[in-house]
Chains A and B, each alone.
Chain A
Amino acid sequence: MQTVLSIAIDALAYGMVLFVISIGLSVTMGLMRVVNLAHGAFAMIGGYIASYAARDLGLAYGFAIVLAVFGTILIAIPIERLLYRRIYGAPELTQVLMTIGITFCIIGIANYVFGPTLKTVPLPAQLQGSVDLGFRAIATHRLFAILCGLAVAVALWYTIERTAFGVKLRASVDNAAMAAALGVRTEIVYAVSFAVAVGLAAFGGVVGAELLPVEPYYALRYMVTFLVVVSVGGAGSIPGALLACLLLGGIDTTGRYLMPEFGEFFFYLAVIAIICVFPRGLAGRAKG
C-alpha cells in the first residue's frame, strides 16, 4: 500500500511537471502547426537562469522563478522573429531540422557558458521537508509541483474558455485565415501564445528541476518526452495533454519503481501502442 501511494504521488508530481512544460508546446503546435523540437531547450534555459539567480546571486526562490520566466521569454523573442517566422507553414522535415538546429546551438552554448555539470535550484526552507497529510507524509516540493500544475491547468482553461483572448485563440487554431478575415490580429495571437508557451516551459523547467535535473543535454534528453506527450494528447488540447501527462507519468514512474532495470522500455512501448490505436492523439480532432 505504501509503495502504491508513493508511486501515485511521484507519478502525479512528474505528470504535472510534464504538463506545465509541454502544454505550451501543445498550444503552439495546435496554433502554428510548428513541430518545435526546441521547446525543451527553453525549459532548460529557464532552469539555468533560476539556478544562476538563486544559487550564485542568492536571490529568493519566487524572484528566481519570475526572472527565469521573463528572461527566457526575452531570449526567445529574437529567435522567434528571426528563425521561427520563416518556417510557419513549411513542410515538417524543414521544421524538424530548423528546430533541431536551434536545440543543438542552445546545448552547445549552455555547455560553454555554464559547463557540463548538473545545476541545482536551491529550494527555500518552506519547500524543504515534508507535509503530513494524515495518512502519510509527502515531500513538500512534490506537493508544490502538483499544485503548480493544477494552477496552470485552471488558469489556461479559464483564459481559453472564458476570455476574449481565448475566443480569438480558438478561432485562430480552427481556421487562421478565416479568423484574420474577421478582424482577429492573428500575428499578435501568435506572438502572445508563443511567449506564454516559452514562459510556461521556463516555469516548468524551474519547478521541475528536482525531477528533471538541469544539465546541457536536458534539451535533447527530454525533447522526446515532451513531443510524445503532445502527440499522445493531441496537439492543441488541454484536457488531452493533461490526460497524456498523467498517463505517461504514471507508466514511466511505475516502470521505474517496479522494474528499474528496464528503464524506459515500457514507456516507449506504451507510446507506440497509444499512437497506433489513436493516431491523432487521445483528444485529437479529425483534422490534425
Chain B
Amino acid sequence: MSMTTTNDLIAETQGKRRFGASDLIGLGVILALAVVGYFLFPTNLALLTRIIAIALLVLSLDLVTGYCGVATLGHAALFGAGAYAAGIVSAHYGINDPFAMLAFGIAAGAVAGLICGAVILRAHGLPQLVLSIALIHLFHEFANKASSWTGGSDGLSGIAPSALFGLYEFDLWGRTAYVFGVVLLVLVFFVLRLIVRSPFGMLCRAIKEDPIRIRSMGASPKAALMKMYVISGAVAGVGGALNAISTQVVGLDSLSFTMSAESLVMLVLGGTGSLFGALTGTIVFMFFEDVVSAANPFHWLTMVGALLIAVVLFAPKGLYGTAAAFVARRREAK
C-alpha cells in the first residue's frame, strides 16, 4: 500500500530511536487539545470522551492496517470485545473497580485480536477482506444471541463503575471519565510510539513492504503480524473499556460493521501509517459527524461518501500525511 508517510521512515532510518522532540511536541498538542476541549465544551464532555475511545480504536486499526498492511473491515470486533468484557464483569460479577474493568477489557481485546488475527491472516486480498467482514458479523450475531450475558439488542446496562481510587466518582458531567480517558490516551500513545519505533515495529513495516524478503531473511511474517494483532486488540480493548466505563451501557453498535467501516474511514482521512494521522482523522471525523448528523442523519451518509471519494482522489495520504509531506518539502526547500 502506497499510503505511507515516507518521512517517518526517513526519520527512523536516520536512527532516531529514542523519544525525540517531535514526540514531546505531539504529547503537548494532545494535552493542550484536551484542556482546550474541556473549557470549550464543558457541557459536552461525553462527546469528547467518546472521541477518545474511538481514537483508541483507530490507533489500534492503524497498527494492523497502517503498519502491517492488513486490510480489515472488521476491527470493531476487538473494540466491542473490550467493551462487553468490561461491561459484563461489572454488570454480572460486581467487579466495579475501573482499573479491574480496564484490565478485563484489555485482556478480552487481546484474546479477540488473537482470534481475529488467526482467521484474517490466513488469506490475502479480497478473501482477507471478506474474512474480516464475516468475522465482525459473526461477533455481532453472537452478542445478539447471547442476550442473557450481553443484553442482546437492548444493550448491556447496569454497569456501575465505582469511584476512581475511591475518591473521584464518575459523575453526571463526565469530568472524571474525561480525565481518565485523556490519561489513558496519553499512556497508550506513549507506549505505541515506543512499539512502532522498536525493532519489532520496523519488522512489521518491512513485512508490509515485502513479506517474501522478510521470510528469506529468517523472520516469520506470520508470527510478527499475530503479535501486532494481539497488541492492537489490547489497545482496542482499552478503548472499548473506556467507552463502557464512561457511558455505562454497551450496545450492539460497538460490534457493528458500520463501526468498523467508520473507523477505517477515520484512519484514512487522517492518514495511515502514522499515529498522529489516526488521531487527526478521528477528531476531524467525529466533530464533523456531531455537527452534520445533528442536522440530518441521511445527508450525513452522503457527506461521508463524498468525503471518502474526495480523500481518495485528492489527498491519498490523508490530512496529516499531506500536511506532513508539505512541511517536509518546505524544510527541504530552505
Q: Tell me the A residues contacting B by CB distance below 8 Å.
A: 29, 35, 83, 86-87, 91-94, 96-98, 100-109, 111-112, 116, 216, 220, 224, 227-228, 230-232, 235, 261-265, 268-269, 271-272, 275-276, 279-281, 288
Given A97-B264, A100-B261; A92-B308 close (CB under 8 Å)? no
Q: Evaluate contact between B125 and A269: CB separation under 8 angstroms.
A: no
Tell me whether chain B's interface is mostly helix, strand or loop, or mixed.
helix
Q: Bound state CA distance, A242 and B145, in angstroms?
A: 31
Sample of 6 A–B contacts (CB below 8 Å): A104-B302, A104-B304, A105-B309, A231-B129, A264-B137, A268-B137
Q: Bound state CA distance, A100 and B127, in angstroms?
A: 17
Q: Evaluate contact between A105 and B127: CB separation under 8 angstroms.
A: no
Taking each of A97, A102, A272, which has the highest tally of chain B beta carbons within 10 Å of its own beta carbon? A97
Q: Tell me the B residues contacting A by CB distance below 8 Å.
A: 1-3, 65, 71, 73, 119, 122-127, 129-131, 133-135, 137-138, 141-142, 144-145, 257-258, 261, 264-265, 268, 272, 298-309, 311-313, 316
Closest to B298 in A: A111
Given A35-B129, A261-B145; A268-B312 close (CB under 8 Å)? no
Q: Which A residues are CB-close (under 8 A) to B126?
A: 29, 35, 92, 227, 230-231, 235, 288
Q: Bound state CA distance, A263 and B145, in angstroms?
A: 9
Q: Which B residues are CB-close (under 8 A) to A29?
A: 126
Q: Which B residues are CB-close (under 8 A) to A83?
A: 309, 313
Q: Evaluate contact between B71 and A92: CB separation under 8 angstroms.
A: yes
Q: Evaluate contact between A96 and B129: CB separation under 8 angstroms.
A: yes
The contact of B302 among A97, A109, A269, by CB within 8 Å, is A109
Q: Evaluate contact between A272 and B145: CB separation under 8 angstroms.
A: no
The contact of A108 among B1, B119, B131, B302, by CB within 8 Å, is B302
Q: Bound state CA distance, A105 and B124, in angstroms?
A: 28
Q: Evaluate contact between A108 and B299: CB separation under 8 angstroms.
A: yes
Closest to B303 in A: A108
Closest to B145 in A: A262
Q: Which A residues are CB-close (under 8 A) to B304?
A: 101, 104
Closest to B144 in A: A263
> How many cross-chain pairs have Cβ atoms below 8 Å apart between A and B?
148
Closest to B300 in A: A108
Q: Evaluate contact between A102 and B309: CB separation under 8 angstroms.
A: yes
Q: Evaluate contact between A101 and B71: CB separation under 8 angstroms.
A: no
Contacts A100-B308, A105-B302 known; 8 new A-B pairs at CB < 8 A: A97-B264, A108-B300, A108-B303, A111-B301, A265-B142, A275-B122, A275-B127, A288-B124
Q: Bound state CA distance, A276 and B131, in angstroms?
A: 9
Q: Evaluate contact between A271 and B130: CB separation under 8 angstroms.
A: yes
A101 CB to nearest B CB, Å:
3
B306 CB to nearest A CB, Å:
6
Given A108-B305, A272-B119, A279-B127; A93-B265 close (CB under 8 Å)? no
B303 CB to nearest A CB, Å:
8
Q: Which A residues are CB-close (under 8 A) to B311?
A: 97
Q: Which B residues are CB-close (under 8 A) to A261?
A: 145
Q: Bound state CA distance, A106 and B265, in angstroms?
A: 17
Q: Which A residues are CB-close (under 8 A) to B305?
A: 100-108
Q: Bound state CA distance, A265 and B138, in angstroms?
A: 6
Q: Bound state CA distance, A133 and B42, in angstroms?
A: 71
The contact of B308 among A98, A224, A230, A262, by CB within 8 Å, is A98
Given A111-B298, A263-B141; A279-B122 close (CB under 8 Å)? yes
Closest to A216 in B: B298
B148 CB to nearest A CB, Å:
13
Q: Bound state CA distance, A263 and B137, in angstroms?
A: 11
Q: Which B residues are CB-close (under 8 A) to A220?
A: 257-258
Closest to B65 in A: A93
A274 CB to nearest B CB, Å:
10
Q: Evaluate contact between B134 and A268: CB separation under 8 angstroms.
A: yes
Closest to A83 in B: B309
B309 CB to nearest A CB, Å:
4
Q: Which A residues are CB-close (under 8 A) to B133?
A: 224, 227-228
Taking each of A105, A116, A264, A269, which has the highest tally of chain B beta carbons within 10 Å of its own beta carbon? A105
B125 CB to nearest A CB, Å:
6
Q: Bound state CA distance, A276 and B307, in angstroms?
A: 35
Q: Evaluate contact between B71 and A279: CB separation under 8 angstroms.
A: no
List the 10 closest pairs (A to B, CB-CB), nearest first: A108-B302, A104-B305, A101-B308, A105-B305, A231-B130, A108-B301, A101-B309, A268-B134, A265-B141, A101-B305
